[in-house]
């Protein structure tokens, strides 16, 4: 996913992002721009899949083919983030900062996967992980 963002930013910097996007208002993209985009994308994909897409000459078609090939990545990240959230326990961390850091990491991954949780959701998760002996704290914090 980082790769996708890096490629988009590089194509923007070179002024050739239009080569991978659907044409709007009949923007014409010249052959030099298309060649630069295809060269850049090919140089930055793994050798094993470079050969698979060697015959592609259109950067948009290549971009969409790669997106289709790797589209399942967000599903994997979402499953992992949900698993991490489900197994997150406040008492397993040495400090509040460590816990907050992990909650932030999980929240960012969920947001990336288009599943945002509210601050209240995370607070409820934290409260639900309090040990039974701390039920008074649990009730005080909820009030």
Please report, for the chain, the start and end positions of each structural domain, with discontinuous segments joined by +.
Answer: 2-70, 73-142
- pLDDT for position 120: 83
CA distance 13 to 7: 10
Threshold 0.85, pTM exceeds: no
Mean pLDDT, the chain, as a whole number?
A: 83
Tokens of 59: 């950067």
Neighbours of 94 (CB within 10 A): 7
CA of residue 73 relative to chain centroid, distance: 8
Q: Is the pLDDT of residue 84 over 60?
A: yes
Task: Give the pLDDT mean for 118-124.
Answer: 82
């Amino acid at each position: 996913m980082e790769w996708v963002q890096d490629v988009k930013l590089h194509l923007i910097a070179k002024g050739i992002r239009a080569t991978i996007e659907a044409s709007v208002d009949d923007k014409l993209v010249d052959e030099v721009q298309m060649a630069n985009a295809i060269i850049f994308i090919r140089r930055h994909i793994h050798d094993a899949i470079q050969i698979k897409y060697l015959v592609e000459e259109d950067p948009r078609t290549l971009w969409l083919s790669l997106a289709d090939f790797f589209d399942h990545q967000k599903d994997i990240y979402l499953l992992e983030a949900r698993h991490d959230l489900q197994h997150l326990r406040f008492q397993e961390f040495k400090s509040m900062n460590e816990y907050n850091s992990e909650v932030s990491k999980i929240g960012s991954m969920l947001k990336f996967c288009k599943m945002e949780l509210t601050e209240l959701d995370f607070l409820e998760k934290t409260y639900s992980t309090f040990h039974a002996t701390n039920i008074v704290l649990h009730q005080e914090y909820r009030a």
